[in-house]
Structure 1
Amino acid sequence: MFTATLIAAGRLSPQTLSDARDRLAATGCAPTTTGWLDEGDAADIVFGFAPDVARQTLECTYDGVDVVVQPMAGREKRLLVADMDSTMITVECIDELADYAGIKPQIAAITEAAMRGELDFAAALDARVALLKDLDAGAIDRCRNERVRLMPGAVTLVRTMRARGATAILVSGGFTAFAEPVAEEIGFHRAIANRLELADGRLTGTVGKPIVDSSTKERTLREARAELLLADDATLAVGDGANDLAMINIAGLGVAYRAKPIVAQAAAARIDHNDLTALLWAQGIARKDWLGA
């Protein structure tokens, strides 16, 4: 059996659920039951067949509604591997750091192309960091304090999953100077990220090797899954850029969060309209069981 979870905080109606169930019946998905996770916010429709058809039918029908279609079995996850920039926080740290060097537009253009999959990630990172050579290292702390803001729902997502026994790992193509404090604030077990190299109180224009990239993210998920003795379907990966695709593609539930088109098209699920707490509803966890809200 499968479930289609409709998520639209404060905007779902009984009529929406009835209509969605009728549409699934008309396309041969054989819906059975419907039920609220949180009335008006999120609901499940259980059905028997053709999950790809169900997802396409529902995603194309309701504006402003996020739809997550998945097997009922293994729905609640025991491992979360998440990207940081534009996923767990609202900004791209390297772009904001570049603003302190007066070159944000130049670096942001490279970031955007890399996240769309148009550039090799490692080469693009080296090129951007090279442009920051001689920036005062104090800009890192200033940037973190003045620019970095948590994505709505991040704390609730991670702390709720942890309280229910899950492991949470932040893996970022960004920098440890940002990822480590962000991970601590949100509640991740650990953070993996790149290291900006410094000398005499300034950025050297280089990043420590090996670079944390797409392969690192995929390997982290695989290794954590094996270490925890988890089945494939017990894992959740979420990110927004092309360097997140490898881990998204192997997760039990791979989620594109407000993602670039290449990611949104490839992921098994996407969240475009709601905050990160949508990933708790996707796991069948009602608001009464959330922590850190």
Structure 2
Amino acid sequence: MHSDKIQISNLTLVNSPSWNIHPVYSSNIIVQGITILAPVKSPNTDGINPDSCTNMRIEDNYIVSGDDCVAVKSGWDEYGIKYGMPTSHLIIRRLTCISPYSAAIALGSEMSGGIQDVRAEDITAINTESGVRIKTGVGRGGFVKDVYVKGMTLHTMKWVFWMTGNYGSHADTHWDPNALPEIKGINYRDVVAENVSMAARLEGISGDPFTGICMSNLTISMAKKAKKYPWTCTDVYGITSGVQPPPCQLLPDQGPEKTEMCTFPTDSLAIDNIEMQRCSYRLNY
């Protein structure tokens, strides 16, 4: 907590009773080459949880978990709103995840301080409930915006994409029913998924829709016993191109020539310019 210049690398973490790696209110963090192993039915054994952190790089990690492999957070309800420290400028790359009951990458549900500028690429998930999940609800406040995901390879999923504005758990009874979250600027591109029960479950909030959703170049192969309707969409708005199976009407297709439309930033973040330091130790007998 409240730390700067953190490097965690080349470790194997086994059977944690709860979250494994959880930096809070910190900056300039690299988590690289980590193996995390938890029983897939163990609750709350999240892999890596950036929480109100800025400038963080998560790369080349292998996670087997009973919960989200990477869960991005920034405070819960009125407490996160008051503290107001977003998680921002986060890179997630070359992640391999197995989590049959949760997501490869989750944003929320504790996102009341805000989440912005998340860049995820080269993600592989196998037998994982969802590829990317956004969790929020009335009373959360805050925002999730400017999220960029490209290059996902997914095998055996319940949902490829899941967004919900109905995540109703609260820290206590003091949450503000007028604190509505802002979800906008969510970009997904270049995704291949197979053996999928449902392409997407997208549920915004009535009167507070999720906007600016962009999906392009997505090929989703449905399982033999897939749901009758591959998409469900309520209170969400955006555009799509080159998406199969065809998306819901709230995400109209812009035509095959627009498959490059969902942006992924080309600029470098400051954390990408920091090299992992090598450390050593010596035993004195």
State whether TM-score is above 0.5. Answer: no
Which of 1 and 2 has greater Rg? 1
Give me the TM-score of the superposition, normalised by structure 1.
Answer: 0.26
Q: Which has the higher strand share?
A: 2
Higher relative contact order (CA 8 A, sep 6+): 1
Give me the TM-score of the superposition, normalised by structure 2.
Answer: 0.26
